Amino acid sequence: MDLIYTIAITLGTLGVLVAVHEYGHFWVARRCGVKVLRFSIGFGKSLCSWRDRHGTQYSIAAIPLGGYVKMLDEREGEVPAQELDQAFNRKPVLQRIAVVAAGPLANFALAIVAYWALFMGGESGYAPVIGSVETGSVADLAGLEEGQEIIAVDGEETPTWQALSFRLLDRIGDSGNIQFTVKYPGSDMVYQSEAPVERWLADQEEPDLFKGLGLRLYTPEIPPVVAEVVADSAGARAGLQPGDQVLRADGVAMPLWMDWVDYVRARPGQAITLEVLRDGGQKTLSITPERVTEADGEVVGRVGIAVQQPAMPDAMLREFQRGPLESLGAAVIRTGDLVGFTLSSIKKMLQGLISPKNLSGPITIAKVASASAKSGLESYIGFLALLSVSLGVLNLLPIPVLDGGHLLYYTVELVVGKPVPEKIQVLGYQVGLFMILGIMMLALYNDFARL
Mode of pairing for the β-strands spanning 215-217 and 130-133: antiparallel
Residue 227: count of CB within 10 angstroms of its CB: 12
* Distance of alpha carbon 46 from alpha carbon 23, whole angstroms: 18
Supply the CATH number for residue 303's domain. Answer: 2.30.42.10
Average pLDDT of the chain?
90
Please tell me the predicted confidence (pLDDT) of residue 295.
62
Closest CA to 367 of 6, 2, 4: 6
Instruction: Give the range of the structural domain holding residue 255, as residue numbers without chain letter.
Output: 226-308
* Distance of alpha carbon 41 from alpha carbon 66, whole angstroms: 6
* Distance of alpha carbon 343 from alpha carbon 446, whole angstroms: 20
* Distance of alpha carbon 128 from alpha carbon 140, whole angstroms: 16
Please tell me the predicted confidence (pLDDT) of residue 409.
94
Look at residue 320 and give its three-state secondary structure: strand
Which of 13-17, 23-27, 312-316, 357-361 has the weakest average pLDDT?
357-361
Closest CA to 200 of 348, 339, 359: 348
Residue 221's identity, in one-letter code, is E
The confidence band for 438, taking pLDDT boundaries of 50, 70 and 90, is confident
Co-location of 205 and 233 in the same domain: no
DSSP bridge pairs for 132? 216
Co-location of 241 and 207 in the same domain: no
Co-location of 187 and 236 in the same domain: no
Helices (H) and strands (E) in the chain, counts: 12, 18
Do 273 and 284 meet the contact criterion of CB atoms below 8 Å apart? yes
Please tell me the predicted confidence (pLDDT) of residue 163.
92
Question: Is 339 contained in some domain?
Answer: no
**DSSP output for 351-380:** HTSS-GGG---HHHHHHHHHHHHHH-HHHH
Question: Is 236 contained in some domain?
Answer: yes
The confidence band for 450, taking pLDDT boundaries of 50, 70 and 90, is low
Co-location of 239 and 209 in the same domain: no
The confidence band for 132, taking pLDDT boundaries of 50, 70 and 90, is very high
Q: To 10 degrees, the CA torsion angle through 151, 154, 157, 163?
A: -90
Residue where a domain terminates, one of 308, 327, 356: 308
Number of compact structural domains in the chain:
2
Question: Is 85 contained in some domain?
Answer: no
Please tell me the predicted confidence (pLDDT) of residue 296.
63
Which of 102-106, 177-181, 204-208, 365-369 has the weakest average pLDDT?
365-369
Question: Is 210 contained in some domain?
Answer: yes
Average the pLDDT over 215-244 and give the result: 91
Question: Is 122 contained in some domain?
Answer: no
Co-location of 254 and 296 in the same domain: yes
Q: Is the dihedral of CA 384, 390, 393, 395 positive or negative?
A: negative
Q: Which residue has the higher pLDDT, 348 or 29?
A: 29
Do 80 and 38 meet the contact criterion of CB atoms below 8 Å apart? no
The confidence band for 451, taking pLDDT boundaries of 50, 70 and 90, is low
State yes or no: pLDDT of 316 exceeds 90. no
pLDDT digits (tens, 9 = 90+) for 182-205: 999 888 899 999 999 999 988 777
Among residues of the chain, what percentage have pLDDT more than 70? 98
Please tell me the predicted confidence (pLDDT) of residue 221.
85
User: Rounded to two decimals, what is the model's pTM?
Assistant: 0.81
Average the pLDDT over 403-409 and give the result: 94
Co-location of 232 and 186 in the same domain: no
Question: Is 424 contained in some domain?
Answer: no
State yes or no: pLDDT of 356 exceeds 80. no
Tell me, yes or no, if 206 is annotated catalytic.
Answer: no
State yes or no: pLDDT of 3 exceeds 80. no
Co-location of 200 and 274 in the same domain: no
Question: Is 239 contained in some domain?
Answer: yes
Q: Which residue has the higher pLDDT, 109 or 366?
A: 109
- Cα angle, residue 325 at apex, residues 321 and 331 outer, rounded to 5°: 75
Co-location of 166 and 189 in the same domain: yes
Q: What is the DSSP letter of 279?
A: T
* Catalytic site residue from 22, 76, 145, 290: 22
The confidence band for 1, taking pLDDT boundaries of 50, 70 and 90, is low
* Distance of alpha carbon 171 from alpha carbon 177, whole angstroms: 10
* Distance of alpha carbon 8 from alpha carbon 11, whole angstroms: 5
State yes or no: pLDDT of 84 exceeds 70. yes
Average the pLDDT over 74-78 and give the result: 87
Measured in degrees and rounded to the nearest 5, phi and psi for residue 212 equal -65, -30
Co-location of 283 and 251 in the same domain: yes
For residue 38, what are the contacts with CB-CB under 8 A and spacing of at least 6?
A: 56, 57, 58, 59, 68, 69, 70
Residue where a domain terminates, one of 170, 192, 217: 217
* Distance of alpha carbon 154 from alpha carbon 194, whole angstroms: 9
* Distance of alpha carbon 343 from alpha carbon 336, whole angstroms: 11
Do 344 and 172 meet the contact criterion of CB atoms below 8 Å apart? no
For residue 69, what are the contacts with CB-CB under 8 A and spacing of at least 6?
A: 22, 25, 26, 29, 36, 38, 39, 40
Average the pLDDT over 135-145 and give the result: 94
Co-location of 238 and 298 in the same domain: yes
Question: Is 144 contained in some domain?
Answer: yes
Residue where a domain terminates, one of 308, 338, 355: 308
Co-location of 209 and 141 in the same domain: yes
Please tell me the predicted confidence (pLDDT) of residue 101.
97
Look at residue 28 and give its three-state secondary structure: helix
